[in-house]
Amino acid sequence: MEPLADTLVRTEFTPGTTYLNTASTGLLPARAVTAMRQAVESVARGAPADMFADVEASRASFARLMGVPAGRVAAGASVAVYTGLIAASLPPGAEVLTAEQDFSSVVTPFHVRQDLKVRAVPLERIADEVRPGTALVAVSAAQSADGRLVDLPALREAARTHGARTYIDMSQAAGWLPMDVAADGWDYVSAVAFKWLVCPRGVAFLTVPEDLGGLSPVFAGWVAGEEPWESCYGPVQELAHSARRFDESPSLFSYAGARHSLALLEEVGVAAIGTHDLSLAARFRTGLTHLGHTPVPAPGSPIVSVPNLGTHQPDLSRAGVEVSNRAGNLRAAFHLYNTEEDVDRLLNALTPAS
């Protein structure tokens, strides 16, 4: 990152540990913490702030990060809910292509609908497995378990060739991987925001096509109305003309902080963050090689998963280094608030005593 951005990041983030666990939960910037505290205090004193304005600011910020108009973004709290929304739109017998062992929220709602044909294939083969009759490909851009990336260009071309819709979950990629949803023609893109987008829990987004993608707002409530405050009683008479018809009733305190977290990412720049994150991951992979360890191959990812080292997680945590244990693998995730010193501290902690 440029020195000015680096100074900004150090001002916003002051972790008390060597925090390398963004793939689980991102750290909150100071500006978001302050905004949430002010929002809570406004309710406590009986003068609630207009947190619906925070929802709209967050929606607009995420839209810019994804390269789409704000009218194509729905705001909610859960990827699983949005996966369910997409699953509900599919006709009986439709084939949904997924990656083996992808995150549960991306795939489970398709399995719950027992009249769909859900086919799981190895991640590296998913583009090759799109075929005539595939209605939808649903996959995470980056795998939660080990950081492996899907070949997005190959998948896009395969989907176009066979007329399949695409559903990309960016929960482990939004915030470090630049994305242009409109230019690339993705149908649906979802993301929780409490990881790499450094937002509070309770914030998630879904982008849909200009024509709203044939989705039916099956969980529509009053916030889905074109005029929400006139849609509070009885059936909503006029649904929002935009993707807002797919909004969940928002977790307002979370969105009070989210608008400031997302603004920070825009200020620093996702491309610059990605370059920084990948540089740290490369440093860690090189250090692992010197220690005799071979991480799961995941080129181009800031998530590094190391087989057979997951049992070190409790000891590392006690030593002030936060990582994850995923299926016996040590998973480290590097983001904008991490430094080369953080990488070296983890490597030193993994070095056997002589």
Same domain, 217 and 229: yes
- In the chain, the percentage of residues whose pLDDT exceeds 90 is 97
DSSP element (H, E) containing 268: helix 252-268
Q: Which of 267, 282, 300 is the last residue of a domain?
A: 267
Q: Which of 267, 295, 312 is the last residue of a domain?
A: 267
Structural domain contains residue 34: no
pLDDT band at 4, cuts 50/70/90?
A: low
pLDDT band at 265, cuts 50/70/90?
A: very high
pLDDT at 2: 59
Structural domain contains residue 25: no
pLDDT at 327: 83
Same domain, 279 and 137: no
Same domain, 278 and 301: yes
Q: What is the mean pLDDT of residues 290-318?
A: 96
pLDDT at 165: 98
Structural domain contains residue 47: yes
Same domain, 63 and 174: yes
pLDDT, tens digit, for every residue of 129-139?
Answer: 999 999 999 99
Number of domains in the chain: 2
Which residue type occupies 226? E
Q: 255-271 burial, b if ≥16 CB within 10 A, otherwise e?
A: bbbbbbbbbbbeebbbe
Structural domain contains residue 26: no
pLDDT band at 354, cuts 50/70/90?
A: low
Structural domain contains residue 80: yes
Same domain, 178 and 254: yes
Structural domain contains residue 318: yes
Residue-wise DSSP of 171-220: TTTTTTS---HHHHT-SEEEEESSSTT-PPSS-EEEE--TTGGG---TT-
Same domain, 233 and 281: no
- Calculate the average pLDDT of the chain: 96
- In the chain, the percentage of residues whose pLDDT exceeds 70 is 98
Contact 322, 12 (CB under 8 A): no
Is the predicted pLDDT of residue 254 greater than 60, yes or no?
yes
pLDDT at 145: 96
Same domain, 203 and 290: no
pLDDT, tens digit, for every residue of 203-240?
Answer: 999 999 999 999 999 999 999 999 999 999 999 999 99
What CATH number should be reported for the domain holding residue 223?
Answer: 3.40.640.10
Structural domain contains residue 258: yes
Same domain, 91 and 211: yes
Same domain, 75 and 202: yes
C-alpha dist (Å) from residue 323 to 16, 156, 273, 304, 314 = 14, 33, 20, 10, 9
pLDDT, tens digit, for every residue of 18-41?
Answer: 999 999 999 999 999 999 999 999
Same domain, 336 and 251: no
Two structure tokens written together for 209: 């096509």
Q: Which of 236, 267, 298 is the last residue of a domain?
A: 267
Same domain, 219 and 245: yes
pLDDT at 6: 85
pLDDT at 210: 96
pLDDT, tens digit, for every residue of 268-277?
Answer: 999 999 999 9
What is the rounded CA–CA span in Å between residue 55 and residue 61? 10
What CATH number should be reported for the domain holding residue 330?
Answer: 3.90.1150.10
pLDDT at 1: 61
User: What domain range is 200 assigned to?
Assistant: 41-267
Is the predicted pLDDT of residue 3 greater than 70, yes or no?
no
pLDDT band at 5, cuts 50/70/90?
A: confident
pLDDT at 180: 97
Same domain, 242 and 293: no
Q: What is the mean pLDDT of residues 49-55?
A: 97
Backbone angles phi, psi at 210, to 5 degrees: -55, -35
Q: What is the mean pLDDT of residues 43-64?
A: 97
Two structure tokens written together for 140: 């995470």
Structural domain contains residue 28: no
Nearest to 195 by CA among 288, 8, 86, 324: 324
pLDDT, tens digit, for every residue of 153-208?
Answer: 999 999 999 999 999 999 999 999 999 999 999 999 999 999 999 999 999 999 99
Beta strands (DSSP E) in the chain are 18-19, 73-76, 95-99, 117-121, 134-140, 165-169, 188-192, 204-207, 303-306, 321-322, 324-326, 329-333
